[in-house]
Amino acid sequence: MTSRDGFQWTKEGGLSQGVPTLSVINPPTNIKSATDQGDYDVIVVGGGYSGLTATRDLCLAGFKVLLVEARDRIGGRSWSSNIDGYPYEMGGTWVHWHQPHVWREISRYDLRKELEPSFDFSRGVNHFQLRTNQGSTTMSHDEEDTILRTALEKFVNVDGDMGRTIIPFPHDEFYNPEAKKYDKMSALDRVRDIALTLSANERASLEGFVLLCSCGTLETTSFFEFLHWWALCGYSQRGCMDCLISYKFRGGQSIFALRFFKEAASTGNLSYIFNSPVKSIDDQSGKVILTTRDDFQFTGSRLVSTIPLNVLETISFNPPLESLRMGAARTGHVNQCVKIHAEISDKDMRSWAGMSYPLNKITYAIGDGTTPAGNTHIVGFGGFHNHIHPEEDVKETKKAVENLAPGNMDVQRLVFHNWSKDEFARGAWFFAPPGLVSNSLESLRRRHGNVHFANADWALGWRGFIDGAIEEGTRAAKDVKDGLKPPPAPRAHL
């Protein structure tokens, strides 16, 4: 099946919108009539990992659940295309056993052997290229790691203990109240604090890596949020690389998401409707009425909203959401990442990685696989300091890929999704600006009457990650189950 989402460009076919993916659900609804279904126990808005987790858990508990999704597919901001049998990850990609909720689900669905490493340094050029305004440097991956490690350790070492004293429990990041003061700081504030201790290459590597994480600007990136990521990764550069960008599903994220959906459907308790953006959510007289843009209405005792932070203000809530939550929604998170996949003909680039900062529109890229044609798959990230909309100027996008390693990037194919212009995301994974987490996290997590809110954007642990989405979906499902009278147990057949 082909989703409306995503773009593909090839030399032969040019640019086309929509890419094949396993995540399209067909038929798009199992509801015979949108007007005769009666009340649901729970309505879940959104088919990303938060919504899929909540839906599955509630269906397994015996509740009658309706899943409403604006897109034609599941996965939300984490989904994979499958072109000629090869997966290109359009959003969230990498997982790790240090992410507890993800690993529980990987074990549950027996997908441990489906993981594979992104990096392969066994053959080819096997080097890292750093291109800055001062020139271009080629170095070994060990040298790359050393430069980034020394820079990061200077950046995070606010307590003489590499952040361990400030954030001793990453899943309770304000366990030490002193941590809150770092949420008032931007990444730029911290870089300025340590600027005299950094070499030119250290500073370029540091800024490029921080921006790879936040996909904002140094001014709009919360220093605390980076410290939180650092703590989750075990307070080390090696941990960051392992947890953030090293291990992915051989068949793509969509094989994982489908397990949640299919298990929910197997209970017989799931109704679903795709291609149905939500217009309003009305919580009155003990019932929640959801109205779609097509003016279909569905009623439930409870509703779980997994609408992302940057989209929340586009939905009409009655009663209105409280001011702190709406203020956070209007501020939004900063991530406007452009993620570009390129298939290139040079097989030796499989072991390449590079950073081009700040002179290129794509900042960081790695060799991420080998396509069925034997070509190298490169995945790159950029747009945060020099924004591009890749579908609007493919020639410029192709040039940005080529500029990563001039002379080595013979581009055969481009694959991407523009998260900034996606009306149901308005950005990629969550990364906070200064002050947002310390001011608004509790409000974003709070129940609003019969409406529960679950999204990776306000998870306590791996906020902005697939793990955080599963954490939030699990929490919402439990809150709903605790608040609703359990459905009657089926009678035993004699």
Distance CA 454, CA 308 (A): 9
50 is in an annotated binding site: yes
414 touches 390 (CB < 8 A): yes
What is the residue whose two structure tokens read 């209405």? 297
430 annotated ligand-binding residue: no
User: Rounded CA gap, 126 and 141, in Å?
Assistant: 7
381 in a known ligand binding site:
yes
68 marked among binding-site residues: no
How far the first Cα of the chain sits from its last, in Å, is: 44
Round to whole Å and give the CA distance between 135 and 356.
Answer: 10
- Residue 491 tokens, joined: 């009678």
7 has binding-site annotation: no
How far, CA to CA in Å, does 89 sit from each of 65, 118, 181, 253? 29, 12, 36, 7
Q: What are phi and psi of 75, to 5 degrees?
A: 110, -25
Residue with structure tokens 């952040």? 163
Closest CA relative to residue 198, chosen from 258, 250, 151: 151
- Here the tokens at position 178 are 């002193």
Q: How far is CA 205 from the centre of its chain?
A: 23
How many Å apart are CA 70 and CA 145, to the nearest integer?
42
Provide the annotated binding site for FAD. 50, 69-70, 278
Provide the annotated binding site. 50, 69-70, 278, 381
Provide the annotated binding site for substrate. 381
